[in-house]
Structures are given as structure tokens and as C-alpha cells.
């Protein structure tokens, strides 16, 4: 039984991760944390997740959680993930990171921490989305620059980062397929008189509204034809399932920074 901890356990995703841990064969709940001063501290994690009491309570001490858990799942914020990466390195605890909005400096910090533990990081933990990353890379590598690449994403009105981490991951996959640097060819904002589209650029369009869990489409628009690859998420549980799969997979792996492509065996 792999002892799994959940940081940020009181949020919508955190509660879903608690439920998924309690329902997954081969896993048991080591604990969960929330910010100091949270009214959730002291509550039973099972009750918090809408289940029977689990006999484990919410704390505000991530260091103690990392010391007692064998793996920790983190869907918090970049500032929290930076702290958790250091704790994972210090304790040798496996860390699964689904946090979005990470900077290049944050990713460098994860790479450094992964020298001393196992870290799985992905902008999206869904098996379907990670297959979409792989397909996007393949199509981009096959088609020439006469096929314009546009990435369209739609999320609920409460999402705070744009484009989404998944959209940026799709952009990176497309850029890898074409063997170019995404930062050099990315069009993130269009407004006013922009001129004609630059050949080889990768465009992003962002939609926000309602309660959309997450829709992503990669468009390859060429002369006389258009190819569209789409993934639509209707339930956040797919992210929790993917994170749990990653935690169990990483348990016996050597230290290093892994992706969901590694977990899924996509190469």
C-alpha cells in the first residue's frame, strides 16, 4: 500500500484527489494539508471529501506530511509547488505535480529537486490529453509550415491563468514536432491591425466562461484542407485518476524528472 499525501486537500481538485486515493487499490491516505489558519485544519479527510471518516485529519504542516508519505500529489499554485519540490528532495518522497502556471525557473527547480527524488510533472494528468500531446507532435512533424497551427482552449470563468497549461503544452508539442523554439514562434495575443499571419507561427486563442472543465483543439489549417485534434474533459476525475496512476508508477523508479508520457509509455 503506497502512502499518498495530498497538499491543498481542501480545494475542489484536492478533495477529488482525496476521494481517488481512498478508492484506489494499492494506495492509502497518509494525510493532507491546507494553509495555516484554514478552517479546514483538524477536519477528517474522508468527511471533507464527502465519504466515510478516514481517521486522518487535515494539518497545516507540509514538512510533516512529506516525512510520513511515500508520495505526495500537488495541484496547488507555483509558490506552493516550489516549497513542495524542496521538501520532496529533502525527504526523498515522490512528488506528482499537476500545478499549472509554472515558470521556466519553477521547472528548473523541479529538475534540480529530481536529482534526489522522483518527480512526475505534467500540465495535464489526463491520459487522453497526453495522447493528444503525442499526436500533435507527430502531425506537426509530418506537415510542412504551409499548415498553420492554431490552439484553441476553453475553460470555466474562474480559471486564473491563460493560456492554460495544457494549451501551452500542446504548443510545446507542436514546436517540438517542427524542431523550433515555441517562444520564438508563439502568437499569444492578437488585437487591432496585426497584419497577415506569419508563416510557421503557432497561435493561441483563449475562451473563458461558464463551468467548462476544459476543451482543447489543435488546428492544422493548410491549403484546401484542415485537420483538427480535439479533447474535451467533462469531469475533473480524469485528472485525479491520472495523478494517482503517476504516483503508483513512480514508486519504484530511479530519481529523475518524468512526464505523463513516461507514465503512459508513450516514449
Decide yes or no: CATH 3.30.360.10 for domain 127-233.
yes
In the set 156, 157, 158, 159, the catalytic residue is 159
Mean pLDDT score, 97-107: 92
The reply to whether 159 belongs to the active site is: yes
Confidence of residue 202 (pLDDT cuts 50, 70, 90): very high
Instruction: Specify the pLDDT at position 123.
Output: 85
Does position 149 have pLDDT exceeding 80, yes or no? yes
Rounded to two decimals, the pTM is 0.85
Do the first three CATH levels of 2-121+236-264 and 127-233 match, i.e. the same topology? Answer: no
Which residues does 124 contact at the CB level (< 8 Å), separation at least 6?
98, 130, 165, 166, 169, 214, 239, 242, 260
Which element (helix H / strand E) includes 186? strand 186-187
Beta pairing, strands 2-7 & 256-258: unpaired
Cα–Cα distance for residue pair 90/25, rounded to 1 Å = 28
Confidence of residue 86 (pLDDT cuts 50, 70, 90): very high
Question: Domain spanning 2-121+236-264 has what CATH number?
Answer: 3.40.50.720
Domain locations in the chain?
A: 2-121+236-264, 127-233
Cα–Cα distance for residue pair 264/81, rounded to 1 Å = 23
Q: Percentage of the chain with pLDDT > 90?
A: 95
Confidence of residue 197 (pLDDT cuts 50, 70, 90): very high
| Peptide bond before residue 163 is cis, with ω within 30 degrees of 0 | yes
All cell numbers assigned to 23? 478508492
Mean pLDDT score, 130-157: 97
Mean pLDDT score, 205-215: 96
The reply to whether 157 belongs to the active site is: no
Q: What is the pLDDT of residues 61-79, one digit of tens each?
A: 999 999 999 999 999 999 9
In the set 84, 155, 216, 231, the catalytic residue is 155
Q: Dmax of the chain from CA atoms?
A: 62
Amino acid at each position: 500500500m503506497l502512502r499518498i499525501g495530498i497538499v491543498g486537500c481542501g480545494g475542489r481538485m484536492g478533495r477529488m484527489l482525496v476521494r481517488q486515493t481512498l478508492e484506489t487499490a494499492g494506495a492509502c491516505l497518509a494525510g493532507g494539508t491546507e494553509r495555516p489558519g484554514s478552517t479546514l485544519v483538524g477536519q477528517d479527510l474522508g468527511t471533507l471529501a464527502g465519504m466515510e471518516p478516514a481517521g486522518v485529519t487535515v494539518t497545516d504542516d507540509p514538512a510533516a506530511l512529506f516525512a510520513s508519505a511515500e508520495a505526495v500529489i500537488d495541484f496547488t499554485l507555483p509558490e506552493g509547488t516550489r516549497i513542495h519540490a524542496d521538501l520532496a528532495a529533502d525527504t526523498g518522497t515522490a512528488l506528482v505535480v499537476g500545478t499549472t502556471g509554472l515558470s521556466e525557473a519553477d521547472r528548473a527547480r523541479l529538475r534540480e529537486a529530481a536529482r534526489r527524488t522522483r518527480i512526475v510533472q505534467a500540465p495535464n494528468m489526463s491520459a487522453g490529453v497526453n495522447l493528444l500531446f503525442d499526436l500533435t507532435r507527430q502531425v506537426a512533424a509530418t506537415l510542412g509550415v504551409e499548415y498553420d497551427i492554431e490552439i484553441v482552449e476553453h475553460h470555466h470563468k474562474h480559471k486564473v491563468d491563460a493560456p492554460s497549461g495544457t494549451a501551452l503544452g500542446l504548443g510545446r508539442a507542436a514546436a517540438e514536432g517542427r524542431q523550433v523554439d515555441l517562444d520564438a514562434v508563439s502568437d499569444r495575443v492578437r488585437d487591432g491591425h496585426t497584419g497577415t499571419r506569419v508563416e510557421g507561427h503557432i497561435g493561441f486563442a483563449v475562451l473563458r466562461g461558464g463551468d467548462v472543465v476544459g476543451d482543447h483543439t489543435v488546428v492544422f489549417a493548410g491549403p484546401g484542407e484542415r485537420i483538427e485534434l480535439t479533447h474535451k474533459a467533462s469531469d475533473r476525475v480524469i485528472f485525479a485518476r491520472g495523478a494517482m496512476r503517476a504516483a503508483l508508477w513512480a514508486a519504484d523508479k530511479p530519481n529523475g524528472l518524468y512526464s505523463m508520457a513516461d507514465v503512459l509509455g508513450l516514449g
